[in-house]
Amino acid sequence: MEWMSAAAVCVGGGLGAVLRYYLERFLAPRRTSDALISAVFVINVLGSLALGIVGAAVNVLGGQDAVAYAGFSLGLLGGFTTFSTAMVEAVQALLAGRYARFVMLWLVQPTLSLIALIAGYTAAAAVL
């Protein structure tokens, strides 16, 4: 069963990375290069919201399928979100003197991501 979970994480991770790629391409023409909110910012907040919903579904409904959970949470959402890229963007903004963007990526984005996770969990738990 362990190999099935690992395979699910691999497949989910690939799919999540592809989703992130296409969402970044979709958002790119809709923002300017000096925008405070980057595509990575949006992706990380959405991924955190989705993880909150998945976590609530597993906890409320019980009897989680370990393979499906690993594939979706660790794989798909792990491949979709990219907090390390956000931190690289934050450092680049800091070095370029773009302090507002730095604060958005370094402080606001992780805070909103946590709020989104909690909101997703709370909303899903209430509905389920």
The model's pLDDT over 2-29, given as tens digits with 9 standing for 90+, comes to 899 999 999 999 999 999 999 999 998 8
**What is the mean predicted confidence (pLDDT) over 17-43?**
89
CB 51 within 8 A of CB 79: no
pLDDT at 85 over 90: yes
**What is the mean predicted confidence (pLDDT) over 73-101?**
95
- Give residue 63's pLDDT: 63
Task: Count CA within 13 A, CB hemisphere, residue 31.
Answer: 16
Average pLDDT score over the chain? 93
- Give residue 1's pLDDT: 66
**What is the mean predicted confidence (pLDDT) over 92-120?**
97
More confident of the two residues 35 and 17:
17
User: pTM for this one?
Assistant: 0.91
Cβ burial 18-30 (10 Å sphere, 16+ → b, else e)? ebbeebbeebeee
**What is the mean predicted confidence (pLDDT) over 17-46?**
90
Name the CA dihedral angle for 3, 73, 110, 59, rounded to a multiple of 10 degrees: -120
Query: Where are the domains positioned within the chain?
Result: 2-127
